[in-house]
Structure 1
Amino acid sequence: MLYITGTPIGNLDDMSYRAVSTLAAVDEILCEDTRTTRKLTNHFEITTPLRSYHDFNKETATEEIIEELKAGKSFALVTDAGMPVISDPGFELVSRLQDESLDYTVIPAASAFTMALVASGIPSYEFTYFGFLPKSNQKRQEKLTEILHHRKTAVIYESPHRMKQLLKDLVKFDPKRLVSISREITKKFEQHERKTANELLHMMDKEIPLKGEFVVIIEGYEEETVNFTGTAKDHVSELVNEGMRPKDAIKLVSELRGMKKQHVYDEFHK
């Protein structure tokens, strides 16, 4: 059996009894960073051996784990904090378990993005989780342009040294867009702030320390928020100038204007 086991995202008091007993009972614990997980297991006096399972070894490790599961071994899969698989390695292993009809179960825990969404005060009936933005500037701008035109509430993770630039990009596009940022969730200096992108930018460093991982909740796009004028070709061109790939811009414009994608494509490429 594989136990996909959630762990606290900051406050160790959030560790469940079921998680503790599971980690103590399995044959091995699969973890991203053995040093981080060892702090957790030491705290709860768990002596189960640890094995590295991360992005750099998951391909070979997955097949080894499958064979050991077939032989009767039990594992717990954990991440450094929160729920495994969410923006972390693991879905490949789960997929292989399904292929092999092997047993697994999920032991729940907090996930930073769901807690930030709950605390944001921004509509959460429908939302899209985008995880971390790409590191390369071009891809980052493309993804951010897509997010800023997304009709549903958007959820992203961001590192402290990129938060200011993220808010500058949001202000450039729509300074009045409602944004919530959360940091240090469940820890001593937990903070949630919901204001316009422009207001948050002016709070950075002073009222909002650039420390800890950030979860950013962005209000969904409404056509009335930004008024595009001109033809569909103009609309696509403007999005491309903002950093979106032409094919993505064509798709978005067709959705926003209620046009067939082929018609927008033909007009843009005239």
Structure 2
Amino acid sequence: MPATLYIVATPIGNLEDITLRALRILKEVDLIAAEDTRHSRKLLTHFGISRPLTSYFDHNQALKGEYILEQLRDGKSVALITDAGTPCISDPGYQLVRDAAAEGVAVVPIPGACAAVTALSASGLPTDFFTFAGFLPNKQGKRRERLQALAAEKAVLIFYESPKRLQATLADMLETMGDREVVVARELTKLHEEFMRGPLSRLAAEVAEREEIRGEVAILVSPAPEVESVEGPQMEELLKRYLESGEHSLKDAVKRVTQETGLPKGTVYAEALRLKEEGLAEG
């Protein structure tokens, strides 16, 4: 196995979801780079795999990335794995892939489990066009900004979220995106796997009533609804009027136009940002 970087997907819960090819590669490589060596050692021990192991995560990727590249330069083979699922998907690793490829090292993906695709496949939402948005910001202000920027997307939106922030995130989604159909997938492939389906308002209320939510969570939001043309003054004209008056902030202008037109807040917000970026409105 000459100088090759293997991107090896591991189970997201159920250990039976690892592939035969992944097991073979992990047994044959010279080095395994893992996000958390303690966590990965349990997986490797379960399958009787004993290979040299090194850590590679967000806070040591510069140092360990160079170490791994040195092993590859020496002609060794390395498998990159994460705690669960496919490496480089909302996990460290893309810099290592980029640097290895730049040096002419072969980068070979070993496909397998991915929470986003797993959740989407069983969601019942359209699967032909979707956007993976990863983790949202922890702070509410930044989180709402990100949601508003995505609110007009005509694709299914897929997010990862901590169970501790699920209630707050659903409430922010309802505020910024309107009462859309959503799916909350929890503990995928594990014993307590759960899919919650329904309008945002109902799911937000249900989650708020629960004493505790456990396990990693994926949230899938249905595409932005098609907007019928607005009777009377158009959305753009109204936004320009409020923004150019100098009496309203962008947030206030969006709120007023949303109330007057009945359009989704995300749609109005996206148009307001476009006007600002193109210099068509002040404020």
Which structure 2 residues correspond to residues 106-125 of structure 1 after superposition, within 5 A? 106-125=109-128
Does the 8 Å contact 1:29/1:51 carry over to 2? yes
Distance (whole Å) between structure 1 residues aligned to residue 193 and residue 277 of structure 2: 45
The Cα of 1:118 is off from its aligned counterpart by 1.2
1:182 aligns with 2:185: yes
Q: Which residue of 1 aligns with 2:281?
A: 267
* Cα deviation digits, residues 182-231 of structure 1 (max 9, x gap): 01111111111220001111221667961101100011213539x89561
* Cα deviation digits, residues 6-59 of structure 1 (max 9, x gap): 000000011111111111111111001011101100100111121000111111
Q: 2:250 aligns with which of 216, 229, 237?
A: 237
Q: Which residue of 1 aligns with 2:38?
A: 35
Partner secondary structure for residue 160 of structure 2: strand
Instruction: Point out where structure 2 has 5 or more consecutive residues left out of the alignment.
Output: 244-248, 256-265
Partner secondary structure for residue 131 of structure 2: strand
* Cα deviation digits, residues 151-182 of structure 1 (max 9, x gap): 22111001111111111122234552111110
The Cα of 1:149 is off from its aligned counterpart by 2.7
The Cα of 1:146 is off from its aligned counterpart by 1.4
With 56-65 and 228-237 compared, the bigger mean Cα shift is at: 228-237
Distance (whole Å) between structure 1 residues aligned to residue 178 and residue 212 of structure 2: 21
Which structure 2 residues correspond to residues 161-200 of structure 1 after superposition, within 5 A? 161-200=164-203
1:81 aligns with 2:88: no
Does the 8 Å contact 1:120/1:193 carry over to 2? no
Distance (whole Å) between structure 1 residues aligned to residue 30 and residue 159 of structure 2: 35
Q: 1:266 to 1:260 in 2, by over 3 A?
A: closer
Distance (whole Å) between structure 1 residues aligned to residue 62 and residue 167 of structure 2: 36
Q: 1:7 aligns with which of 4, 7, 10?
A: 10
Instruction: Point out where structure 1 has 5 or more consecutive residues left out of the alignment.
Output: 243-247
Which structure 2 residues correspond to residues 135-154 of structure 1 after superposition, within 5 A? 135-154=138-157
Does the 8 Å contact 1:240/1:249 carry over to 2? no
Does the 8 Å contact 1:160/1:210 carry over to 2? yes
Distance (whole Å) between structure 2 residues aligned to residue 73 and residue 151 of structure 1: 45
Q: What percentage of aligned pairs have identical amino acids?
A: 37
With 229-238 and 155-164 compared, the bigger mean Cα shift is at: 229-238
Does the 8 Å contact 2:182/2:198 carry over to 1? yes
Q: 1:208 to 1:217 in 2, by over 3 A?
A: farther
Distance (whole Å) between structure 1 residues aligned to residue 211 and residue 218 of structure 2: 13
Partner secondary structure for residue 44 of structure 2: helix
Q: Which residue of 1 aligns with 2:52?
A: 49
The Cα of 1:66 is off from its aligned counterpart by 1.4
Aligned amino acid, residue 253 of structure 1: E
Distance (whole Å) between structure 2 residues aligned to residue 187 and residue 220 of structure 1: 28
Q: Which residue of 2 aligns with 1:245?
A: none
Indicate the RMSD between aligned Cα atoms, in angstroms.
Answer: 2.9
Distance (whole Å) between structure 1 residues aligned to residue 252 and residue 22 of structure 2: 47
Q: Which residue of 1 aligns with 2:260?
A: none
Distance (whole Å) between structure 1 residues aligned to residue 211 and residue 183 of structure 2: 12
1:214 aligns with 2:227: no
Q: Normalising by the residue count of structure 1, what TM-score does the alignment of the two structures yield?
A: 0.86
Q: Normalising by the residue count of structure 2, what TM-score does the alignment of the two structures yield?
A: 0.82
Partner secondary structure for residue 268 of structure 1: coil
Does the 8 Å contact 1:145/1:239 carry over to 2? no
